[in-house]
Structure 1
Amino acid sequence: MICIYKSTSETTPTLRQLDTIEHGCWINMVAPSEQEILLISKKTGVPVEFLSAALDEEETSRIDIEDNNLLVILDIPFTEMEENSLTYDTYPLAIIHTEKEIITVCLKNNKMLTDFIEGNIRSFYTFKRSRFILQILYRVASYFLVCLRQIDKKSWMIQKKLHKSMNNKVLMQLLSLQNSLVYFSTSLKSNEITLEKMMKLEIMQKYEEDKELLEDVIIENKQAIEMTSMYTNILSATMDASANVISNNLNLVMKILASVTIVISIPNIYSGIFGMNVKGLPWSNAPDGNGFAIVMTLMIVTTLVSIVYLNKRNML
Structure 2
Amino acid sequence: MQTKITFNHNQNTWINLTTEDKAEVAQLYTEYQIDKEAVEYSLDQNERAHLDYDKAAGTFVLIYNVPNRLKIDNHYETIPMTFIIKDQILITVTNKRNQYLFFEMQNYLEKFPSMTIFEFLFTSLFIITDAFFPFVEEMNRDRTKVSSKLKEKATKQNLLALSDLETGIVFFISASKQNVVLLEQIKAHAIYKQLSDSEKEQLDDALIEAKQLVEMTNLSSEILHQLSRTYNNILNNNLNDTMRILTVLSVLLTIPTIITGFFGMNMPLPLENNASGWLITIVISLVLWFGLSLIFRRLIKR
Q: TM-score normalised to the size of structure 1?
A: 0.66
CA distance in 1, matches of 2:166, 2:7: 49
Note if 1:188 corresponds to 2:217: no
Question: What is the rounded CA distance, in whole Å, between the counterparts of 1:292 and 1:8 in structure 2?
Answer: 103
RMSD of the TM alignment (CA)?
Answer: 4.7
Q: Which residue does 2:63 correspond to in 1?
A: 73
Q: Does 1:4 align with 2:5?
A: no
1:137 to 117, 125, 133: 125
Q: Tell me which amino acid in the other structure corresponds to 1:272.
A: G
Aligned to 2:255: 266
Give runs of aligned pairs for residues 113-152 of structure 1, distance below 5 A. Answer: 113-117=99-103, 122-125=107-110, 129-149=117-137
- State the alpha-carbon separation in 2 of the partners of residues 251 and 269 from structure 1: 27
Give distance in 2, aligned partners of 1:122 and 1:178. 29
Check 1:251–1:114 CA distance in 2 against 1; reply closer, same or farther (3 A cut): same
User: Do the aligned partners of residues 184 and 281 (structure 1) sit closer, same or farther apart at CA in structure 2, a change above 3 Å counting?
Assistant: farther
Instruction: Note closer, same or farther for the CA distance 1:275–1:159 as it changes in structure 2 (3 Å cut).
Output: farther
Report the Cα distance in structure 2 between the residues aligned to 1:9 and 1:186, rounded to whole angstroms.
31
Asked if the contact 2:105/2:127 (under 8 Å) is kept, the reply is no
Deviations 1:196-223 (A, max 9, x none): 3589264x537x4x65443321111111
1:44 pairs with 32, 54, 64, which one? Answer: 32
Could you tell me which amino acid in structure 2 is paired with residue 4 of structure 1?
Answer: Q
Residues 192 and 222 of structure 1 are in contact (CA less than 8 Å); yes or no, is this contact kept in structure 2? no
Cα contact 2:75–2:164 (8 A) shared by 1:
no
Q: What secondary structure, in the 3-state scheme, does the structure 2 residue paired with 1:281 have?
A: coil
Indicate the residue corresponding to 2:192 in structure 1: 200
| 8 Å CA contact 1:158, 1:174 repeated in 2 | no
Paired with 1:5 and 1:131, the residues of 2 have a C-alpha distance of 20
Q: Do the aligned residues in 2 keep the contact of 1:75 with 1:188 (CA within 8 Å)?
A: yes
Match of 2:85 among 79, 93, 97: 97
Distance 1:42 1:218, change over 3 A: same
Letter in 1 for 2:295: Y
Closer, same or farther in 2 for the Cα pair 1:76/1:178, shift >3 Å? closer
Alignment check: 8 A CA contact 1:5 1:26 kept: yes
Structure 1 CA distance for aligned equivalents of residues 106 and 294 of structure 2: 69
**Equivalences, count:** 288
SS at match of 1:142: helix
Q: Which moved more, 1:268-277 or 1:242-251?
A: 242-251
TM-score by length of 2: 0.68
C-alpha change, 1:220 and 1:213, in structure 2 (3 Å) is same
Shift of 1:40: 0.7
Alignment partners' CA distance in 1, 2:41 and 2:182: 16
Q: Which residue of 2 aligns with 1:19?
A: none
Q: Which letter maps to 2:256?
A: P
Cα distance in 2 between the residues matched to 1:131 and 1:189: 18
- Given that residues 64 and 82 in structure 2 are in contact (C-alpha distance below 8 angstroms), is that contact kept between their aligned partners in structure 1? yes
CA–CA distance in 1 between the matches of 2:7 and 2:182?
A: 32
Q: SS of 1:76's equivalent? A: strand
Give the share of equivalent positions with the same residue, in percent: 20
Indicate the larger mover: 35-44 or 227-236: 227-236
Q: Tell me: CA distance 1:174–1:101, structure 2 relative to 1, closer, same or farther (3 Å).
A: closer
8 A Cα contact 2:49 2:62, kept in partner: no
Question: Does residue 1:28 correspond to 2:31, yes or no?
Answer: no
Gap runs ≥5 in structure 2: none
Higher helix share: 2
In structure 1, C-alpha distance between the alignment counterparts of 2:168 and 2:6, rounded to whole Å: 43
Give me the whole-angstrom Cα distance separating, in 2, the residues matched to 1:120 and 1:306: 76
Q: After TM superposition, give the deviation of residue 248 of structure 1 in Å.
A: 5.0
**Are the aligned partners of 1:195 and 1:218 in contact in 2 as well (CA < 8 Å)?**
no
Over 3 Å counting, the alpha-carbon distance change for 1:50 and 1:302 in structure 2 is: same
Give yes or no for contact 2:60–2:86 (8 Å, CA) kept in 1: yes
Structure 1 residue 261: Cα displacement: 0.5
Residue aligning to 2:300? 314
Q: Relative to structure 1, is the Cα distance of residues 277 and 174 closer, same or farther in structure 2, using a 3 angstrom cutoff?
A: farther
